[in-house]
Amino acid sequence: MEDGNGGQNLPTKTLDSDLDPNLQKKHQSMLDRLSARHQTRLDSSLTRLDSSLTRRSDLSNSSESTSSFLSRFSDSKRSIESQLAESRQIASSDPARLKSHLDDISSSISELEKLVAENSYFLPSYEVRSSLKTISDLRQNVESLTAELVPKKKFTFKNKATAKKEPPKELEIEKSNSVSTKTSNNFVIRDSPGFRNKANEIFEKKFRGSDIGEFTLSDLDSCEVRLSGCFDALFINRLKNCRIYSGPVTGSVLIEDVEDCIFVLASHQIRIHLAKRSDFYLRVRSRPIIEDSNGVRFAPYCLEYQGIEDELEAAGLGEETGNWANVDDFKWLRAVQSPNWCLLLENERVEKVYVANLETGNEGS
Amino acid sequence: MGLLSIIRKIKRKEKEMRILMVGLDNSGKTTIVMKINGEDTSVISPTLGFNIKTITYQKYTLNIWDVGGQRTIRSYWRNYFEQTDGLVWVVDSSDLRRLDDCKMELDNLLKEERLSGASLLILANKQDIKGALTPTEIAKVLNLEAMDKTRHWKIVGCSAYTGEGLLEGFDWLVQDIASRIYVLD
């Protein structure tokens, strides 16, 4: 210390000697400050050490906080679940409040997620995983509820969105629905021919001459539909518990949102979206595809009526290509078999379906 | 020399155009490409992924990217936006129910900056089907008049089944791109 001062003292020689004690004082205060800093550093590292020691030694304490976390977690989970259960009621009694109610649920889920994150450093990894799983399940519930309850389109059965499994996209789609109804209001689109909004009925239609074009089946519940003769395109939308038998479609068939149905179809292209628990008996020139579907089963075409062979031939569907079994699942882009569909075993298939030759069918509405 | 001008120079030399075909599933994109290329259109499966076709059209080489339209894979469209000279939006004119979907997807696409310079051809496909909307009606539903004024666009009715209208549409598209990118000779 004296040495260090020596260097500094040299120039001070030229200064007045009464400044010297002053300088000494300054020097002393600096030393004091330095040692004070050192002390605080020591102190803080000690406390750090201390706290880490307590943490390590107090394992019992940590398990206790695990259990307290778990009880907090399950409390909030329960309250969120009850809120979720309420929302259905709110949707019917007070739809205006529904939006904010659902938002509240979402924010409590986020809160819960934060809780997990904050406590994750001491939680056993199993608890972290299962908590996160619970949270994502809750999210899924909210999302499907939102999709189910929020879009209030007229004349719509409510189960459309429940089958969808892409939450972020759903929001976009719903937004677009509300926006776009406006555009279609500006411009009234004529209805295409078809059977719509019916329950517990049997429909028949034979396509001839000027009838031939596209045809729509939508919003049918527990109906049977028999279509014969060639036609250009078939659109199927929102069917429940129906049986659809169709002669050859020269263009494509587009199926969306069906549940517990049986389809017997022949077409050049077949696309199946949002189908649940349904059987498809197909003759198809290209590979049929499914998307967002599950529990769907496939078998070869089995429809019979007078003249069907000629009609199939004329539509280019005379030969069995075997493509009914070559299903592409757009939600399962892997080499292993998709869990969403399977082939119908022979003993599970329906017998050949005979539909009487329909000379005069009731016209599509 | 900027990158863009280098690319332009290379393209000018080879007279190449990159064309992106998009639209909802079942609108007939692949069938259109096959038909233009003179291939058999009787067995076409829904596109899982994409197809690229290089065809010589007039004195140009068209690289046509035909990208699948199923909902699951629409989010991948954006991977194909880069350096697109021409955009072909295909509409199934007989699918009245999904016109709203169609409008929404087109609107989203046109917001895309990387496509802002591309000429837009809208093909109102399936005109052969009775009950299909006319191109004029499709234009109204899609509200094409409200489009950004800087965009070069045209709507053409067509049938990939008969081939009608396809050449008219592609002629316009190729000419429009050529007049933007290449010095006409």
Which residues, other chains included, contact A237 with Cβ-Cβ below 8 Å and sequence gap of 6+?
A216, A217, A218, A219, A255, A256, A257, B97
To the question of pTM greater than 0.90 for the whole model, the response is: no
Cβ B101–A173 below 8 Å, yes or no? yes
pLDDT of residue A299: 96
Best to test chain A binding among B40, B41, B43 (most A CBs inside 10 Å): B43
Give the span between the Cα atoms of A149 and A257, in whole angstroms. 17
Chain B residues within an 8 Å CB radius of A292: 71-72
Residue A1's pLDDT band (boundaries 50, 70, 90)? very low
> Quick check: A184 pLDDT over 60?
no
Chain A residues within an 8 Å CB radius of B25: 254, 271
Residue predicted with more confidence, B114 or A148: B114
Cβ A189–B99 below 8 Å, yes or no? yes
pLDDT of residue B13: 66
> DSSP H helical segments within chain A, as ranges?
2-12, 20-57, 59-93, 95-119, 125-149, 167-186, 308-314
Asked whether the beta carbons of B132 and B165 are under 8 A apart, the reply is no
pLDDT by residue (tens digit) across B51-85?
999 999 888 899 999 999 999 999 999 999 988 99
Residue A7: exposure state from Cβ atoms within 10 A (0-12, 13-18, ≥19):
exposed
For A174-360, CATH gives 2.160.20.70
Q: What is the mean pLDDT of residues A322-347?
A: 91
Q: Binding-site residues of B, please?
A: 23-30, 47, 69, 125-128
pLDDT of residue A259: 96
> Quick check: B98 pLDDT over 90?
yes
Residues pairing with A269 in the sheet: A252
pLDDT by residue (tens digit) across A46-93?
666 555 554 444 444 555 678 888 888 889 889 988 888 888 888 888
Q: Which residue of B has its CA nearest to A209?
A: B130
Q: What is the mean pLDDT of residues A256-285?
A: 96
Q: Regarding the domain delimited by A56-149, which CATH topology (the fold level of the hierarchy) does it fall under?
A: Methane Monooxygenase Hydroxylase; Chain G, domain 1 (1.20.58)
Q: Which residue of A has its CA nearest to B134?
A: A189
The mean pLDDT value of chain B amounts to: 90
pLDDT of residue A18: 54
Task: Using CB atoms, pick whichever of A193, A252, A331 lies closest to residue B26.
Answer: A252
Q: Which residue of A has its CA nearest to B107?
A: A176
Q: For chain A, say whether B71 makes contact (Cβ under 8 Å).
A: yes
Residue predicted with more confidence, A169 or B22: B22
Q: Which residue of A has its CA nearest to B140?
A: A187
Residue A195's pLDDT band (boundaries 50, 70, 90)? very high
Give the span between the Cα atoms of A8 and B113, in whole angstroms. 67
pLDDT of residue A96: 79
Residue A250's pLDDT band (boundaries 50, 70, 90)? very high
Domain boundaries, chain A: 56-149, 174-360
Cβ B96–A218 below 8 Å, yes or no? no
The mean pLDDT value of chain A amounts to: 79
Give the span between the Cα atoms of B94 and A194, in whole angstroms. 13
Cβ A328–B48 below 8 Å, yes or no? yes
> Quick check: A218 pLDDT over 70?
yes
pLDDT of residue A48: 61
The pairs formed by A24-27 with CB atoms below 8 angstroms and a separation of 24 or more are: none
Q: Which two tokens stand for residue A220?
A: 């049918």
pLDDT by residue (tens digit) across A340-351?
999 999 888 888
User: Cβ of A283: how many Cβ atoms within 10 Å?
Assistant: 24
Residue A288's pLDDT band (boundaries 50, 70, 90)? very high
- Catalytic, out of B58, B70, B83, B175: B70
> Quick check: A116 pLDDT over 60?
yes
Give the rounded percent of residues in chain A with a pLDDT score beyond 70: 75
Cβ B100–A271 below 8 Å, yes or no? no
Q: What is the mean pLDDT of residues A310-322?
A: 93
The strand order across the sheet containing B86-92 reads B50-57, B60-67, B16-22, B86-92, B119-125, B153-157
pLDDT of residue B1: 61
pLDDT of residue A109: 86
> Quick check: B121 pLDDT over 90?
yes
Instruction: Verify whether residue B70 is a known catalytic residue.
Output: yes
Cβ B72–A285 below 8 Å, yes or no? no
> Quick check: A232 pLDDT over 80?
yes
Residue predicted with more confidence, A333 or B166: B166
pLDDT of residue B155: 97
Q: Which two tokens stand for residue A310?
A: 């000629």
pLDDT of residue A227: 94
> DSSP H helical segments within A150-235, as ranges?
167-186
pLDDT by residue (tens digit) across A8-51?
444 444 444 455 777 888 888 888 888 887 777 777 666 665 55
Listed in order, strand segments (DSSP E) in chain B are: 16-22, 50-57, 60-67, 86-92, 119-125, 153-157
Query: Which region among A70-84, A233-247, A350-364, B16-30 has the lowest average model confidence (pLDDT)?
Result: A350-364
Interface pTM, i.e. ipTM: 0.87
pLDDT of residue A164: 42
